[in-house]
Amino acid sequence: MKKIGVLTSGGDAPGMNAAIRAVARAGYHYGVKVYGIERGYQGLLDEQILGIDQRSVSNVLQRGGTMLRSARCLAFKQPEVRAKAVKILKKHGIEGLIVIGGDGSFMGAKLLSELGVPTVGIPGTIDNDLAYTDYTLGFDTACNTILDAINKVRDTMDSHERVNIMEVMGRDCGDLALHAGLAGGAQAIVVPEQPMTPKQVLAKIMEGKASGKRSSIVVLSEGAGKAESLAKEIASMEPALDVRSTVLGHIQRGGAPSMLDRRLGTLFGEHAVKLLTQGIGNRIVGIKDNKIFDVDIVEGLSIKRHFDKEMYDIANMMAK
Ligand code: ADP
């Protein structure tokens, strides 16, 4: 392969720039020309294609977001639209493609591979909702952003003897709440995989209060409820508690990537380029037991997510 493309698709995540940089620099090392495709599959259809070399990616390693920008492109689900995308890639002489995104983006990548364009996926999503890999790009940075917020909120909650329900991202996957909740010393962690009633959350808060805690932080996944309504329900059951709520929102998606995400983006990017230089496509890269690996797209996506109940139980054990 002499020319390859790279795009970011779906939700952005800190560390995507580190991966783009790695693709550009590894491409330079392995002697392939790299093209950056802006705005995901939509930009591919609109031919927003630009040559990038090792210098184009200077000074992006530490930046959040994605220098190639991202977009959703529902039309990409239509076969005739994908056929047009293949034609555009052929026209530019691009023989292989690297797609940085989540499971939706990987479906697009699989379908492109079936049309004869070897495509490799890099998992970029803060949710950590892809079971085939221990970690996705952006998860660690988002956890650290949540931790920083927990620390700040705790200062004021403790001064005023209050309870705060902190809502974090994660529609179907509670990993952000679980990992940041454990590291941040949450009194309760409420995730979609392990639902709790408001009464049960209240019981955890009261248990802490009875043992002398002045304040409590409850970390709630957005997929398990809304912070404001949970705060209201708890306050109505126990009027003596001063319960507040905080919704972290998009702050979790931005910011300078952590060391772990810069490292992961770099290693994923290099691995993806190496696969394409060998003519290998229809793969997604990941990290398992601290080793970078790749797996067939469909096989990887079919792996069922396993909720870490052991870690959840330990987090609860610590909330004493
Ligand atoms: P993520 O990649 O983060 O899961 P989405 O699910 O929004 O985000 O997918 C991103 C893009 O990938 C979509 O806008 C679309 O262009 C493409 N895509 C998603 N699902 C499919 C599919 N089944 N077939 C083809 N392309 C898809």
Q: For residue range 75-93, what is the model confidence (pLDDT) as tens digits? A: 999 999 999 999 999 999 9
Residue 102 C-alpha to ligand 1 middle, in angstroms? 8
Which entry of 127, 129, 261, 294 is annotated as an active-site residue? 127
Mean pLDDT calculated for residue range 274-278: 97
What's the CA gap between 211 and 225, in Å, rounded? 27
Q: Which residue has the tokens 């085939």?
A: 132
Question: Atom 10 in ligand 1: which residue has the minimum CA distance?
Answer: 10
**Alpha-carbon Rg for the chain in angstroms:** 22
Dihedral sign from CA coordinates of 18, 22, 24, 25 = positive
What's the CA gap between 241 and 283, in Å, rounded? 52
Residue 218 C-alpha to ligand 1 middle, in angstroms? 33
What's the CA gap between 4 and 49, in Å, rounded? 11
**Residue 140 is a catalytic residue:** no
Atom of ligand 1 nearest to the CA of 42: 16
Phi, psi of 78 (to 5 degrees): -90, 130
Residue 10 C-alpha to ligand 1 middle, in angstroms? 6
Percent of the chain with pLDDT over 90: 99
pLDDT digits (tens, 9 = 90+) for 40-70: 999 999 999 999 999 999 999 999 999 999 9
